[in-house]
């Protein structure tokens, strides 16, 4: 029961985040309507869909305090980055290849080489800086500020290279209307209605409450204020992230976790898996916080916006490791002073960042290597087919297996860990 309770709570937070991200999508698309395809995915969509990672890290730091909270932040952002980079593009490919999209049967997801190189190489660079920047046992405000400035630089570069937008307010309003029709009880069927009610649809479907017919007319006239819906969705997701942090803390409790051997609920004492909080976050919290990214990218892919689908996933990773990690670190250390991490936590954090860096390079090569082509407007692209999707899924599965094997002291995982530690020792310790 001690394991079941936090797992159920994680599942509930997934549902809440999933429902709230529908409102996010409508509001963010409207707010970013003047941004070009690819840029919108890497900025507005990426930021809005990565709010769960930001709130999870903030809440973990200020509620759990010091290194325990930061380890959950590291685990969530790193795990989410791998999930976004591997699972989301793979699911997007599998959801459209072989199906009819915009009246055409899709044989491959064609992603602009410009978008792939811009976001992929930016992500690899940011991860390399993260490894060098946080390679000690003490964390300071200037390290968080450096990460924030890194993201600001990326954001400015994105906006300067922006091309004219093809996204009109009429299209956004029409998509919102189509979504509303899909949510209508008469078109869902009894199974759809049952799932809608069980998943908290009537209460959590923010689009239903904030986007009425007259609001869609305002979208077409560009007079609608989408910020209220965006901020309301943010509030709901923040509440869900609070529950997610508690669930991670509970799930990590146990005899093997000296700092958190058990948790109390309704006067009863329970024990979880006994795993370090960072490992719990890298698997469970990262999946829950990646729900908005997944939903948004799949919808972009089904609309034929393949550049946005991939840019959202990669741009979200840059936001996660730079801002969602940097801002809470900066804010916490400015208020409470430097964070002193335990040697074991610093070691786990370093290994995780190195793993993230190497697997991101592997993922980038999977994207980049393959058949190329040129679209009608002269854009060079690379084809992503099912083979690449299965390769990305395999890489992520191997990563999860390694984390589980490392926790259970299995030989090959420990050997990998030792080699990563040797590499870390050769890098300068900053902090």
The pLDDT value recorded for residue 181 is: 47
Give the β-pairing of 268-270 and 263-265. Answer: antiparallel
The pLDDT value recorded for residue 182 is: 47
Tens digits of residue pLDDT in 262-321: 888 888 888 888 877 777 888 888 888 887 778 778 877 887 777 777 777 777 788 888
Q: How far is CA 353 from CA 77, 359, 428, in A?
A: 10, 10, 15
The pLDDT value recorded for residue 392 is: 92
Residues paired with residue 139 on neighbouring β-strands, in sequence order: 339
> Among residues 66, 116, 9, 99, which one has the least CA distance to residue 360?
116
d(CA 375, CA 385): 17
First to last CA, the chain: 41
Ranges of residues in the chain with a pLDDT under 70 are 32, 34-46, 48-49, 64-69, 102, 161-207, 209-210, 215, 256-258, 429-431
The pLDDT value recorded for residue 292 is: 73
> Among residues 280, 261, 357, 234, which one has the least CA distance to residue 69?
280
d(CA 288, CA 47): 16
> Among residues 170, 25, 93, 116, which one has the least CA distance to residue 389?
93
d(CA 156, CA 50): 18
Tens digits of residue pLDDT in 362-388: 999 998 888 888 888 888 888 888 899
> Among residues 166, 212, 153, 201, which one has the least CA distance to residue 29?
166
The pLDDT value recorded for residue 44 is: 67
Whether this prediction's pTM lies above 0.85 is answered by: no
The pLDDT value recorded for residue 148 is: 92
d(CA 95, CA 210): 29
């Amino acid at each position: 029961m001690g394991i079941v309770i936090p797992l159920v709570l994680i599942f509930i937070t997934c549902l809440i985040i999933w429902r709230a991200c529908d409102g996010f999508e409508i509001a963010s698309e409207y707010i970013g309507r003047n941004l070009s395809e690819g840029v919108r995915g890497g900025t507005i969509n990426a930021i809005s869909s990565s709010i769960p990672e930001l709130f999870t890290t903030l809440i973990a730091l200020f509620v759990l305090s010091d290194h325990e909270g930061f380890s959950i932040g590291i685990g969530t952002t790193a795990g989410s980055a791998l999930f976004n980079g591997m699972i989301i593009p793979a699911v997007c490919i599998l959801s459209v290849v072989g199906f009819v999209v915009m009246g055409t049967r899709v044989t491959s997801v064609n992603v602009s080489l410009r978008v792939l190189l811009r976001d992929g190489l930016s992500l690899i660079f940011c991860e390399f800086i993260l490894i060098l920047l946080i390679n000690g046992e003490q964390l300071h405000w200037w390290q968080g500020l450096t990460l924030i400035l890194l993201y600001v630089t990326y954001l400015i570069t994105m906006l300067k290279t922006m091309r004219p937008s093809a996204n009109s307010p009429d299209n956004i309003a029409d998509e919102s209307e189509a979504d509303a029709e899909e949510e209508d009880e008469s078109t869902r069927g009894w199974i759809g209605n049952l799932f809608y009610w069980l998943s908290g649809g009537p209460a959590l479907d923010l689009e239903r409450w904030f986007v009425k017919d007259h609001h869609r007319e305002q979208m077409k006239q560009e007079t609608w204020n989408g910020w209220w819906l965006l901020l309301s969705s943010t509030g709901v997701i923040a509440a869900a992230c609070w529950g997610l942090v508690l669930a991670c803390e509970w799930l990590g409790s146990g005899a093997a976790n000296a700092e958190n051997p058990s948790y109390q609920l309704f006067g009863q004492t329970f024990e979880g898996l006994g795993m370090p909080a960072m490992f719990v976050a890298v698997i469970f919290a990262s999946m829950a916080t990646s729900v908005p990214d997944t939903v948004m990218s799949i919808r972009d892919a089904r609309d034929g916006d393949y550049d946005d689908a991939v840019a959202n996933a990669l741009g979200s990773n840059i936001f996660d490791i730079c801002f969602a990690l940097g801002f809470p670190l900066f804010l916490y250390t400015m208020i409470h002073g430097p964070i002193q991490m335990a040697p074991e936590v610093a070691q786990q954090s370093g290994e995780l960042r190195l793993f993230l860096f190497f697997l991101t390079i592997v993922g980038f090569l999977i994207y980049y290597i393959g058949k190329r082509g040129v679209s009608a407007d002269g854009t060079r692209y690379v084809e992503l087919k099912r083979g690449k999707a299965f390769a990305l899924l395999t890489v992520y599965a191997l990563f999860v297996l390694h984390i589980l094997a490392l926790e259970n002291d299995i030989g090959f995982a420990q050997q990998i860990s030792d080699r990563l530690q040797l590499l870390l020792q050769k890098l300068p310790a900053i902090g």
